Amino acid sequence: MNASTPPGKPNQALLRHLRPTDLKAAAQLATQATHGVINLVEGVHRSVHRQLGLSKSAAPEQTGGLTGQIYRGIRGVAALVGQGMDGLLGVLLPLLDDPATHPEASPQRDAVLAALNGVLGDRLVATGNPLAQAMELRVDGKVLALSAPDALKNQLGEAVSPHVVLLAHGLCMNDTQWRRDGHDHGAYLAESLGCTPIYVRYNSGRHTSENGRDLALLLEQLVAAWPVPLQRLTILGHSMGGLVARSAVQVAREAGLAWPGQLRELVFLGSPHHGAPLERAGHGVDVLLGVTPFTAPFTRLGQLRSAGITDLRHGHVLDADWQGRSRFGSAEDHRVPLPLPEGVACFTVAATLAAQRGLLADRLTGDGLVPLDSALGRHQEPSRRLVFARDSQRIVYRTGHLDLLSSPAVAQQLVDWLGDSAAPDA
């Protein structure tokens, strides 16, 4: 609230970015957060009692006796409040939230939702929270009509081309954020190559392989509904988007889907093929907090981070990389090696904050989030290496992770690669 806002009145600029349904979702999150705080406090209480030999509770993180009854009572009150809010909002929202009153989405709201989904997206899905984002294919901020070629043709108009470039965003981002500092790689490629850019929006807090499976199915619908014969499909993935793209190709080929037959190029911008140090550091914090019984309950705070984030520890792409294992357990790399797809021209751009190439630059964190080796597919184990041709790699200097989205050098490199790329022999 700014100084010009009268006391007791909401900021009108803020309200323009909110929808009535956001209230119900926020109330649900608040109830869950309340339960989380109660559990955290009781966990510390239990640890102290156990160290003093006072605990009689068999449950590892619950207190017993009168203390336990008090905590259960607090939980009961929180549950009643949550149910009361749900009931009230359930009556009011159908009267207030008419989709016709929200013809255009707010970019600010979309950015907040994308970040929230990146951090808690798997939890939003598990609890049925309406803030959980479904995967969509979009153009100009609108969801594509994939029901029939005529509907898609009417929506795209003259923008239909036999060459589609699909752009997949990274963690905590959305399709509109491909535009950065006035530049959009999709629009630039459309102008330079005459292709049609299509943008995917997805919940980046879900497992990468789950998003890959959904993307594979959506692309099958897109190819079937494309108004003209599709001759060429290119996927451009930034950061996590590159991992989702690799997952989608593998899923589609295993399922015998049609669209991989039109896939000609995969282009990665700062994709953490072998993980990102920040997530590995987050796992290290979990381990340190779990060392003593007094700090162990606080590991829950670190373990709020989503499945999508923990997948970035080593660069998970397949279900087998994570299924049957605790996300916060072993720090070892359990991935099933997955090479680059055969018959597809693969390109990668890695960024570094360093001013020039050198031994020190290679050892630094790369673009601030993804190391050079990870973005270039290098690995000490030969079975895990992603082999990019020498002329299919590019390192850009003095460039951060998000700067890859607006770098003129990257934009020109994309045009050079895709303009010269021919369909490889299958």
Q: Using one digit for the tens of pLDDT, what is the confidence trace for 82-106?
A: 454 454 445 444 444 444 444 456 7
Alpha carbon distance 389, 394 (integer Å): 10
Better-predicted residue by pLDDT, 234 or 281: 234
- In this structure, of 40-44, 226-230, 347-351, 383-387, the range with the lowest mean pLDDT score is 40-44
Residues of the chain with pLDDT > 70: what percent? 64
The pTM of this model reads 0.74
Give the pLDDT confidence score for residue 58 in this predicted structure.
47
Angle between helical axes of 208-225 and 149-156 (0-180°, round to 10): 90
For 310, the 3-state DSSP assignment is helix
For range 5-13, the mean pLDDT: 48
Alpha carbon distance 140, 87 (integer Å): 36
Alpha carbon distance 337, 247 (integer Å): 12
Residue 307, pLDDT > 70, answer yes
Residue 2, pLDDT > 50, answer no
For range 34-50, the mean pLDDT: 48
**Which of these, 10, 183, 22, lies nearest to 109 by C-alpha position?**
22
C-alpha angle 199-202-204 in degrees, rounded to nearest 5: 130
Q: Averaging pLDDT over each range in 26-30, 128-132, 154-158, 349-353, which range is the top one?
A: 349-353
For the chain, give the mean pLDDT. Answer: 77
For range 408-425, the mean pLDDT: 82
Residue 57, pLDDT > 60, answer no
Residue 417, pLDDT > 90, answer yes
Q: Residue 78 contacts by C-beta under 8 Å, 6 or more apart in sequence? A: 31, 34, 35, 38
Q: Residue 253 contacts by C-beta under 8 Å, 6 or more apart in sequence? A: 260, 341
Render the burial of 88-122: b for 16+ CB within 10 Å, e for the rest: ebeeebeeebeeeeeeeeeeeebbebbbbbbbbbb
Containing H/E element for 233?
strand 232-238
Alpha carbon distance 291, 149 (integer Å): 59
Give the pLDDT confidence score for residue 45 in this predicted structure.
43
The pairing of beta strand 183-184 with beta strand 179-180: antiparallel
CA 415 → CA 10, 196, 412, distances in Å?
Answer: 47, 14, 5
Better-predicted residue by pLDDT, 27 or 288: 27
The pairing of beta strand 393-397 with beta strand 263-269: unpaired
Supply the DSSP symbol for 295: T
Alpha carbon distance 184, 7 (integer Å): 41
Q: Using one digit for the tens of pLDDT, what is the confidence trace for 328-362?
A: 666 678 889 999 999 999 999 999 988 877 656 55
